[in-house]
Structure 1
C-alpha cells in the first residue's frame, strides 16, 4: 500500500549539485514513511520544476518520487502570499484586522488547489493512501473525493483552527469547510482546534455532528487530535554532542552574565516577539538587581520578507531592541542580543543548552515545536510558555503565561530565574518524558494507523 503526500513545499532541496532532504518537522516525519512504503510527494517545486516535473529520489535507487508543480508569479503572489499568508494565516491566528479578503486571492487559491488535485490524481494508485497537509490545500480533499469516491484520504491542519465566530468572517468559509470534509480523517494538534472545527461544521454547514464524527454527504468524517512532536532521538544526541556543548559554553562566556534568557522564532507577528521584549524591559525596570546579571538572546529567523507587514514588524523590533539596549547597557553588558538570521539545528541546540530560561510566548500558535526542542536539549532550563500555544495543552509543567500580559510575563521571568534547582530538575524531567511521548515519528504512525484502520 503506497502513500501520496500532498504538501505546499517540496521535501528536497538542491545542494552543491545534488538533492538532499529539506529541514523541517514534516519532512523528518514523513520521508522515512514514504521511503519505506514507496509513493509520491506532490508539491510546489522550485524554479527548475518546469523542466523537471518529476524527481526520483535517491536518483540511482529511487524509493519515492517528488511530483513538482511549477507555479507562475501570479499564482505564487495570489495563492501563497495572498490567500495563504494574508487571509488564512492571520485569520486562523485571530488577527482579523490583518486579513486581506480579496476575491482574486481566493480564485487563484481555488485554481492552484485544482492543479494540486489533478497532479495527485495522476499518481494516485488504486490502493494508495493520500495525506493532504495544511491550510494551503483546503480544497484538495473535496476535489479528490469527487474524482475517487472510494479513495482513502487524510487531511492535517497544522495551525490553530479558530472559533466559529472568527472563521465565519471568511466569505468562502463554507466552501473551504466542504473541501476539508472530503477527507476520511481530519487531524488537528489539540482538542480545542478539533472542537472548533466540529462547531463550524455544525453551525455553518448544518452538518450532523456526533461526538468526533461529522456526518456529511453520506459519509462519516472523523475529527481527531494528534499532537505533533519533534525528532526526539536527534535532539537527545545533539544535547550530548561535544561540539554543541562547547558552543553552549562559548555563548555563556560571550553573554558574561549569570543568567541567559532565550527566544527562538520566525519573524512573525503571531510569535509575540514585541510583547516579549516589552516584558523583558519591564523586568529590568522592576528588578534593578538583575541589571548586568541577565542577558536575553532573541533569535529571529527572516520570514516572508516580501510581505510589507513583516518588514514593518522588523522595523518595530529593531527600534525596541535599540531602546532597551540604549537605556540599560553599561560596562560591556548588552541586555538584548538580537540575532536576525537563520541558524542550523546544531547551532540552535547550543543556544538551548546555554539558556537558563526559554521564553516561548506566541500570541497564537498551532503547536510550537521550539518549546519541545528546548526541553529535549536543555539540562535544567525552565520553559516559560504561552497559554495560547497548542504546546501549553501538552506541556503542563512549563510556567504558563498570557503573552499579552506584559507585567505577568515579567514576573514569570523573575520566578524562573529564582526557581530552586530541585524544582527546576523536577519540571524539566517531567517535560522530557512528555516530549519523548510526542515524538514526530510516532505522530505520523498514529495518524496513518487511524486513517487506514
Structure 2
C-alpha cells in the first residue's frame, strides 16, 4: 500500500553543494522512512518556478516522487500569509485580536486547495492508496479528493490546537471548512480536549450525528482521535550526550558567569508568550533582589513570518522590554536578559537545553510544543515551567504548570524552580523523560497510519 503525503512544504532542500537532501523537521523525520519503504509521493507548494513540478527522490535510485504545486506571489499572499497566518492561525490559538477575515484570503485558499487536490488525483492511481494531509493549510482539499475518488483512504492531522466551538464558529467560513475536513476517514489532533472541540463543532455547526468519537455526516463516517506528536528522541539523546554539546554547555555557563540559567526558546510569534514571559522575569527581579547577579535569563527568538505586520510590531515590543529590564537591573558584569533574535540549529540548541537550570516554556496557547520535549530529552537536572494552556500540559503533569497570563504566578514559579531540591528535580525530570520517549515522532507516524488503515 503506497502513501501520498500532502503538506504545505516539500521534504527536501538543496544543500550548499547543489545536492538534494532531506529537510530538517519532525514531519520529514517521521514520514520519509515510510515513503522510502512503501513508495508514493509527497506533495507540497512550489515557491520557486525554476524547480520541476515532479522530482523523483533520491535522483539515483528513487523511492518516491516529490510533487510541487507552483504558487504565484499573489497566491502565496492570499493562501499562506493571508488565510493560513492571518485567519486560521490566530483563531486556532484564541488570538482573535489578530484575526483578519478578508474574503479574498478565503477565495485564494479555496483555489489553492483545489490545486493541491488536483495534484493528489494526478499521483493516485490505486484504490488502496493512503492519502495523509497535514495541518490547517489544507482543510478543503479532502472534499475535492473524496468527490473524485470515493475509494481512497483519507487522513488529516491537525498540528495546532483545535479551538472550542464558540471560538471556531467566529470564522465566517467555519461550516465550509468543517465539511472539507469531514471528507476524511480519520482526523488526528494532539489531545482529547481538541477531539472534544472538533466533535462539538461538527455537532453544533453542521448538525452532524456524533457517536463516541465518530462523526456521521452527509453519508460519510469520520473518526476523530488524539495522536500526540513527539520528537526524534534517540537523535536528541545522542546530540545532547556528544562531547561537543557538553563542552558548549560548559562554555555558556562560564561565559554568563551566574549560578542559575533560565532559558526561553521560541519562534517570535504572538502565541508563544515571549513578551509576557519577559515581563514576568522583570517582576521576579523586582520581588527577589537577592537573586540579582545570580540569575541569567537567555531568550532565543527565531525570526518568524517577518512579512506580517503583527510580527514586526511584536519584535519592536520585545526589543523595548529587553532594553528596559537590562537598563534597570544590569550592573557590573551582570546582564539579566541575554536576548538573541536569530536562528540556531538543533545541535546548537542542545547546548542551551543542557546548560539550563530552568526552561520557561509559557505560550499563551499552543499544541504539543516540541521545544518542551527537546529540553526534557537533552537536559540532565533542570526544571520545566510549562504553560497550562498547551496541549503538552495534559501529558506532562510533572512540570511546574502556570497560567501565562498570571504575571505574579509566573514570577513566583521561577523562584520555586530555582529553589527546588535536587531529589524532586530528578524525580520530576525522569518522569517527564519517560513520557517523551513514548511520544517519539516515528511511533506517532506508525500509530496514525495504523489507525488510518484500520
The bucket for the TM-score relative to the shorter chain is over 0.9
Q: Deviations over 1:292-315 (max 9, x none)?
A: 000000000000000011000000
- 1:68 partnered with 2:89: no
The structural deviation recorded for 1:374 is 0.2
SS of 2:5's partner is: strand
Q: Deviations over 1:36-65 (max 9, x none)?
A: 1111000012314x5411111111011111
User: What corresponds to 2:5 in structure 1?
Assistant: 5
SS of 2:7's partner is: strand
Q: Deviations over 1:401-445 (max 9, x none)?
A: 000000000000000000000000000000000000000000000
Whether the aligned pair in 1 keeps the contact of 2:191 and 2:228 (CA below 8 Å) is: yes
- 1:22 partnered with 2:49: no
User: What corresponds to 2:419 in structure 1?
Assistant: 418
SS of 2:198's partner is: helix
User: What corresponds to 1:172 in structure 2?
Assistant: 173
Whether the aligned pair in 2 keeps the contact of 1:2 and 1:125 (CA below 8 Å) is: no
Whether the aligned pair in 2 keeps the contact of 1:2 and 1:37 (CA below 8 Å) is: yes
User: What corresponds to 1:347 in structure 2?
Assistant: 348
Query: What's the C-alpha RMSD, in Å, of the aligned pairs?
Result: 0.7
User: What corresponds to 1:86 in structure 2?
Assistant: 86
Count of residues paired in the alignment: 452
SS of 1:9's partner is: coil
The structural deviation recorded for 1:361 is 0.1
SS of 2:101's partner is: coil
Q: Deviations over 1:130-178 (max 9, x none)?
A: 0000000000111111111121000010101111111111110000000
Query: Matches of 1:173 and 1:218 in 2, distance apart?
Result: 20
User: What corresponds to 1:336 in structure 2?
Assistant: 337
Whether the aligned pair in 2 keeps the contact of 1:134 and 1:155 (CA below 8 Å) is: yes
Q: How does 1:284-299 map to 2 (within 5 A)?
A: 284-299=285-300
The structural deviation recorded for 1:28 is 1.1
User: What corresponds to 2:301 in structure 1?
Assistant: 300
The structural deviation recorded for 1:105 is 0.3
Whether the aligned pair in 1 keeps the contact of 2:183 and 2:220 (CA below 8 Å) is: no
Whether the aligned pair in 2 keeps the contact of 1:13 and 1:22 (CA below 8 Å) is: yes
The structural deviation recorded for 1:125 is 2.8
User: What corresponds to 2:257 in structure 1?
Assistant: 256
Query: Matches of 2:136 and 2:214 in 1, distance apart?
Result: 21
User: What corresponds to 1:223 in structure 2?
Assistant: 224
User: What corresponds to 1:101 in structure 2?
Assistant: 101
The structural deviation recorded for 1:71 is 0.4
User: What corresponds to 1:398 in structure 2?
Assistant: 399
Whether the aligned pair in 2 keeps the contact of 1:362 and 1:388 (CA below 8 Å) is: yes
Whether the aligned pair in 1 keeps the contact of 2:143 and 2:181 (CA below 8 Å) is: yes
Whether the aligned pair in 2 keeps the contact of 1:12 and 1:22 (CA below 8 Å) is: yes
SS of 1:81's partner is: helix
Whether the aligned pair in 1 keeps the contact of 2:47 and 2:72 (CA below 8 Å) is: no
- 1:198 partnered with 2:199: yes
User: What corresponds to 1:35 in structure 2?
Assistant: 36
User: What corresponds to 1:152 in structure 2?
Assistant: 153
SS of 1:384's partner is: strand
Query: Matches of 2:136 and 2:51 in 1, distance apart?
Result: 27
The structural deviation recorded for 1:217 is 1.9
- 1:182 partnered with 2:204: no
The structural deviation recorded for 1:24 is 1.2
- 1:357 partnered with 2:358: yes
Query: Matches of 1:377 and 1:124 in 2, distance apart?
Result: 41
The structural deviation recorded for 1:190 is 0.4
User: What corresponds to 1:444 in structure 2?
Assistant: 445
User: What corresponds to 1:123 in structure 2?
Assistant: 123
Whether the aligned pair in 2 keeps the contact of 1:367 and 1:389 (CA below 8 Å) is: yes
Q: How does 1:124-143 map to 2 (within 5 A)?
A: 124-126=124-126, 127-143=128-144
Q: TM-score, normalised by structure 2?
A: 0.99
User: What corresponds to 1:378 in structure 2?
Assistant: 379
Q: Deviations over 1:229-267 (max 9, x none)?
A: 000010111111000010001110111000000000000
User: What corresponds to 2:242 in structure 1?
Assistant: 241
Q: How does 1:259-278 map to 2 (within 5 A)?
A: 259-278=260-279
Whether the aligned pair in 1 keeps the contact of 2:188 and 2:227 (CA below 8 Å) is: yes
User: What corresponds to 1:388 in structure 2?
Assistant: 389
Q: Deviations over 1:101-140 (max 9, x none)?
A: 0110000000000000000000013121000000000001
Whether the aligned pair in 1 keeps the contact of 2:84 and 2:137 (CA below 8 Å) is: yes
The structural deviation recorded for 1:20 is 1.2
User: What corresponds to 1:281 in structure 2?
Assistant: 282
The structural deviation recorded for 1:367 is 1.2
Mark the runs of 5 or more structure 1 residues left unpaired by the alignment. Answer: none
Query: Matches of 2:252 and 2:37 in 1, distance apart?
Result: 40
Mark the runs of 5 or more structure 2 residues left unpaired by the alignment. Answer: none
Q: Where has structure 1 moved over 2 Å in runs of 4 or more?
A: none
SS of 1:8's partner is: coil
